Amino acid sequence: MYKRFCLLFCFVFSSIKTEIILNKAFLHVGNSKDKLVFYFNENPKVNSTSSKLKNNIMEYRFLFPKIKISTEANKMINRVKTKNNFYDLKISKKLGDLEIKVIFNTKKVIDIEAYSFTAITSAKGVSINILHKPVSNKISKKNVIIDMGHGGKDKGAVGKSGIQEKDITYKIGIDLYNLLKDQGFNVYLTRKKDVFVDLDKRTSFANSIPGNSIFISIHANHSNNSNTCGIESYYLDYDLLRPIRLPLRLANARSEVAQGDRGANDFLRPLNKSKILCELLHSKLIDDLKNINNNIVDRKTKSSVSQVLLGTEMASVLIEVGFVSNKKEEKLLSSPEYIQAIAKSLSEGIQSYFSTGS
Ligand SMILES: [Zn+2]
């Protein structure tokens, strides 16, 4: 009896300590790079192998040992499993391990990379990037993609008065849409009404639009401390992604890529553009809103890894326009004049971003 108890105890204890749970899975589809992103509660172990199946066909296998898959992640996995023109993505659970296989033609897929990171939500992420030949040769058109945060069943942050983040982001988004349309921009919305849209559907949609695009994700903030207030803006910093070492590839897999085709510059370009855009829109917003909100708090620009910033292939920024948990800002965010002022400031900021030749 004692022995049995001990065994049970030890088992429960060790399983609590080591249980790693997969909570979310996304597939951000891009013009030349697709990103399969997993979110865990803790940093998982990952083993990877590559093998040649036949001429020009390779398999890359990632094994995450001892993973529990949440119900939500299970649904998301079924959504991201895919077979397309470039690769066949197989995700399965084998003896408690999570196995991912990417089977591809080396004439179409150029390389596979993997990164680990800590997301803004503090979840532990792993991104497996599949670099492939471009879907289209993008023509130079100036596009603005407005991402109105949350929607449908996902209310986002909710204020004491009952004000919901999804409605604030929608109102700002629509005002911004109209202002930019009037100025002759090509403007797109990741959601047109009060509906739930998966984060990777939003990024994949943005990536599918040809041209020189920017992506603006609008959000409102929440804090348990009701005194916390102000505006903060985020951009992706690639330094936050830690490369995962992958096995050496077969020679023919890499022969497609000319030296210098890719590398540090490829990462620096979107990073710098996002940072420039973020700093421009943020400082303008603080300046412009001072007229209405004289004690406005500048919570500065920050680098972080969030789904929409990670999944978009263009200059992208996420702006938290204020705290619904703060009485004063909740009231301001309920007023159409303040909403209009935010939209006006953003539209002018976007105009000057494009006019400076970015
Ligand atoms: Zn939000």
How much distance in Å is there from the Cα of 56 to the middle of ligand 1? Answer: 44
- Residue 27 DSSP SS3: strand
**Position 60: which residue type?**
Y
How much distance in Å is there from the Cα of 151 to the middle of ligand 1? Answer: 10
- Average of pLDDT values for 224-234? 97
Structure-token pair, residue 4: 């049995």
Which one of 3-7, 98-102, 264-268 scores highest in mean pLDDT?
98-102
Distance between CA atoms of residues 68 and 74, nearest Å? 10
Residue 279 has pLDDT above 80, yes or no: yes
How much distance in Å is there from the Cα of 235 to the middle of ligand 1? Answer: 15
Please report the pLDDT score of residue 141 as a whole number: 75
Residue 49 has pLDDT above 50, yes or no: yes
Residue 252 has pLDDT above 50, yes or no: no
Q: CATH classification of 18-132, choosing from 3.40.50.720, 3.40.50.300, 2.60.40.3500, 3.30.310.50?
A: 2.60.40.3500
Distance between CA atoms of residues 232 and 319, nearest Å? 6
- Average of pLDDT values for 180-195? 95
Percent of the chain with pLDDT over 90: 72
How much distance in Å is there from the Cα of 274 to the middle of ligand 1? Answer: 19
Q: Are 333 and 339 in contact, with CB atoms under 8 Å apart?
A: yes
How much distance in Å is there from the Cα of 271 to the middle of ligand 1? Answer: 22
How much distance in Å is there from the Cα of 125 to the middle of ligand 1? Answer: 19
- The Cβ of residue 255 has, within 10 Å, a number of other Cβ atoms equal to 10
- Average of pLDDT values for 280-309? 94
How much distance in Å is there from the Cα of 157 to the middle of ligand 1? Answer: 7
Please report the pLDDT score of residue 330 as a whole number: 97
Q: Which strands sit side by side in the sheet containing 67-69, from one edge to the other?
A: 67-69, 20-28, 33-40, 124-132, 109-118, 242-243
Please report the pLDDT score of residue 36 as a whole number: 96
Residue 100 has pLDDT above 80, yes or no: yes
CA dihedral 47, 119, 317, 261 (to 10 degrees): -20
How much distance in Å is there from the Cα of 153 to the middle of ligand 1? Answer: 13
Q: CATH classification of 142-355, choosing from 3.40.50.2300, 3.40.50.880, 3.40.50.970, 3.40.630.40?
A: 3.40.630.40
How much distance in Å is there from the Cα of 202 to the middle of ligand 1? Answer: 14
Residue 24: C-alpha distances to residues 76, 78, 124, 125 (Å): 7, 11, 10, 9
Please report the pLDDT score of residue 210 as a whole number: 87
- Average of pLDDT values for 340-345? 98
How much distance in Å is there from the Cα of 107 to the middle of ligand 1? Answer: 40
How much distance in Å is there from the Cα of 219 to the middle of ligand 1? Answer: 4
Q: DSSP state, 33?
A: E
With cut-offs at 50, 70 and 90, classify the pLDDT of residue 261: very low
How much distance in Å is there from the Cα of 223 to the middle of ligand 1? Answer: 12
How much distance in Å is there from the Cα of 28 to the middle of ligand 1? Answer: 19
- Average of pLDDT values for 200-208? 96
- Average of pLDDT values for 239-250? 77
Residue 296 has pLDDT above 50, yes or no: yes
| Average pLDDT value for the chain | 88
More confident residue, 51 or 323: 323
- Average of pLDDT values for 3-24? 59
With cut-offs at 50, 70 and 90, classify the pLDDT of residue 1: very low
**Domain-wise residue ranges, the chain:** 18-132, 142-355
How much distance in Å is there from the Cα of 225 to the middle of ligand 1? Answer: 17
